[in-house]
Structure formats: structure tokens, C-alpha cells
Amino acid sequence: MQHYFLKQSLVVDQIVELPTKIKHHFFGVLRSQPKAKLELVDENHIVFQAIAIDPELGTVKIETQLDRQTDLPVEATIICGLAKQSKPELIVQKATELGVAEVIFIPMERSIVKWGSKSEKKIERLQEVAVSAAEQSHRNSVPNIRYLAKLTELADQNYDRALIAYEEAAKQGEKAQLVQNLEQLSSGESVSCVFGPEGGITDTEVNWLTDHGYQPVGLGPRILRTETAPMYFLSAVSVILELSQM
């Protein structure tokens, strides 16, 4: 069933005129007929089932409230060094499917690409990728995509647990650090994890981060590419907090 996000609150029996983009997709591209079902998520992250009324007017009627929660039980943020080519798109798409709350991109010392003045456009495009992935994976919310111009701007961010994906951590035998940190999180708390770009994170960056409360953790013994590490991390959050703690 199609799944769309609206920027308004909804109640059962309400008749809603779909926003232009959604109307175009649901009634235009998909040629949905009256009585076709769809899911709408309102601004409070509540999912409703709705039914198509009039394709011309783009109206639907809210039928029932669905008691479904598909966001992670914690607010998970991934903080990624700028990576090359279409890797940011892949990161945003996969992280959204895996339940991320926010993705922050930052130019890091070993980032080869620079976004500079293009950063606003890039983030706009990535935000669209997030909407589309959130629709497809039936999320209760769309992740927020942001750009910070410098690593040190992270000083203004607060997380209940702040981590760094760091190969060296795994080598030093701190294999269990990730799981231990995740197990200590309570529902509604926040966790973030920093991922270096293709060349990895530098010692200077790791030092700055640890001085600001970030803890290095290993993600297993294999070397993961810059776009794969966040997928591993978010899967781990889900496995530990959604599948293990019953």
C-alpha cells in the first residue's frame, strides 16, 4: 500500500485534499481509482489508513488510525564524512530504511570531495531521497538530513551516547563496546555515531571527538566501506533494541 507523509494533523472521517506532489503521484502516476487504499502519516507521526474519493480533486477520506510504530525506539543519528559519488544518496536511502532519525554530513580531513556552496542543494536532494525511502519502508517519520561545515560544530549537539566507528577500537579488543553501549540505552534516548570518509577518520579528529564525549567502538573485524559502516551500526541498534530486549 502507498504510504505518504503530510504536514498536518489528521482525524478519522476527515476528508483531505492531497498536496500537489502526492496527488500527482497517487492519482496521476499510479492512476489510483476511487476506493483505492493508502496510508497517510500526519505531523504527529501517527499512521492512518485512507481511501481515495475523487481523483480530479485529489481527495481522500481518513478511515482508521493504525497503531503501528516502525521508527527505532531510540533517536539514532549518523554523522558521516563527505564521501564521493553517489555514496551520500546510498547512505541516506539505506539509513532511512534502517530507522535513522537524522543524518549529518560533515567535510572531514580525509574527505576528497567538498560541497561548499553546493551543500544546500545537496541536502535538499538528499532530503528528497529520505522522503522517498521513508515512504517505501513505511516509516512513522522522515529522517532529517543536515550539513555541518566543520566537525567542531558537533560541540553544539547533545546525545545520550555518542560513538565513533573506529577500526582501531576493534583491534584493541574492545569488541563488545558497541553492544554494551546500545544495551544501556532506554527508549526515547538518543545515540549518535561518527563515520569517517573513504580514507578514514584521522587521529586529530578522533582526539577532538573523544575530548567531547565520543567513545570509539568497533564494528566487527572486517574493514567496512564508508557507506556500509552506518548500515551495520543501524542494524545493530535494531537487533539489540528491537529484537533482543523483549
Residues that bind a copy of itself (CB under 8 A): 68-70, 94, 97-99, 136-139, 175-176, 178-179, 218-225, 228, 231-232, 235-236, 238-240, 242-244, 246
Task: Write out the three cell numbers for 111.
Answer: 574527505
Q: 47 vs 206, which CB is nearer to a copy of itself?
A: 47
- Say if residues 50 and 4 touch (Cβ distance below 8 Å): no
- Closest to 184 measured CA to CA, from 215, 222, 211, 228: 215
What CA–CA distance (Å, rounded) separates 38 from 97?
19
Sheet containing 215-217, strands listed edge to edge, beginning at the edge strand earlier in sequence: 144-147, 102-106, 75-81, 190-195, 161-165, 215-217
Where b means 16+ CB within 10 Å and e means fewer, 216-236 reads bbbbeeeebebbbbbbbbbeb
Taking the complex as a whole, how short is the minimal distance between the CB of residue 197 and a copy of itself, in angstroms? 15
Q: 71 vs 189, which CB is nearer to a copy of itself?
A: 71
Q: 63 vs 97, which CB is nearer to a copy of itself?
A: 97
Q: 8 vs 172, which CB is nearer to a copy of itself?
A: 172
Q: 181 vs 192, which CB is nearer to a copy of itself?
A: 181
The strand ranges marked E within the chain are 3-5, 15-17, 37-41, 47-54, 59-66, 75-81, 102-106, 144-147, 161-165, 190-195, 215-217
Taking the complex as a whole, how short is the minimal distance between the CB of residue 73 and a copy of itself, in angstroms? 10
Taking the complex as a whole, how short is the minimal distance between the CB of residue 91 and a copy of itself, in angstroms? 12
Taking the complex as a whole, how short is the minimal distance between the CB of residue 12 and a copy of itself, in angstroms? 22
Q: 107 vs 230, which CB is nearer to a copy of itself?
A: 230
Taking the complex as a whole, how short is the minimal distance between the CB of residue 35 and a copy of itself, in angstroms? 23
Taking the complex as a whole, how short is the minimal distance between the CB of residue 181 and a copy of itself, in angstroms? 11
Neighbours of 128 (CB within 10 A): 13
Taking the complex as a whole, how short is the minimal distance between the CB of residue 240 and a copy of itself, in angstroms? 7
- Say if residues 127 and 147 touch (Cβ distance below 8 Å): no
Q: 69 vs 158, which CB is nearer to a copy of itself?
A: 69
Task: Write out the three cell numbers for 18.
Answer: 492531497
